[in-house]
Structure 1
Amino acid sequence: MTVEGLEPCTPAPGAFVLDARDGRVGRVMGRVGPYVQLRPPGGGAEWDCPPEAVRPAPPGLALRARVTEINRGGKLPR
């Protein structure tokens, strides 16, 4: 699944974004070298995403990701 119609973005750490290569939602953890590091909602292994493939997560997907984190015991970011 690719995400079309959404422009690349420069996300801040903590933001939820989409990896346009496969449609996965992830929380931005930071940058390592040329890549943006993303972590799945609720935890798990981080993955590297090229900045040109990062898209802002639509509000509904961002909300779903936040609920997933809360349900798995995560804290809300301030």
Structure 2
Amino acid sequence: MTDRNSDAVQCTASPSVGAVAVDRRNGKVGVVMGHVGPYVQLRPPRGGREWDVPPEDVRPPTPAEELSAKVAVANRRWGR
């Protein structure tokens, strides 16, 4: 028997505002800006337009994805 419940819990847990997350549908990394209705709102780390993602399509980033997003945010602060 497969343990489907652990996947369901992981998929439905909404990340907190400011966290880095990945949209499973397209692989885009974003910063969580908020939760509107049933959706998680992500924004590209360098800024730009937010997009809505169903909570089941949000996953935590890999260490490399998270580091890349944080470097993009830092570079934006320094005007690079």
TM range (shorter): 0.7 to 0.9
- Aligned residue number for residue 39 of structure 2: 35
Aligned with 2:77: secondary structure? Answer: coil
TM-score (norm 2): 0.79
Report percent identity of matched pairs: 55
Whose radius of gyration is greater, 1 or 2?
A: 2
Question: Which whole-Å deviations, capped at 9, do the CAs of 1:17-71 have from their partners, x for residues lacking one?
Answer: 1000000000001101110000001110000000010000111100100001111
Q: Runs of 4+ in structure 1 displaced over 6 angstroms?
A: none
TM-score (norm 1): 0.81
Aligned residue pairs: how many? 69
Structure 2 stretches lacking a partner, 5+ long: 1-6
Compute the RMSD of aligned alpha carbons.
1.6
Q: For 1:1-78, list aligned pairs within 5 A.
A: 7-8=10-11, 9-73=13-77
Structure number with the higher helix fraction is 2
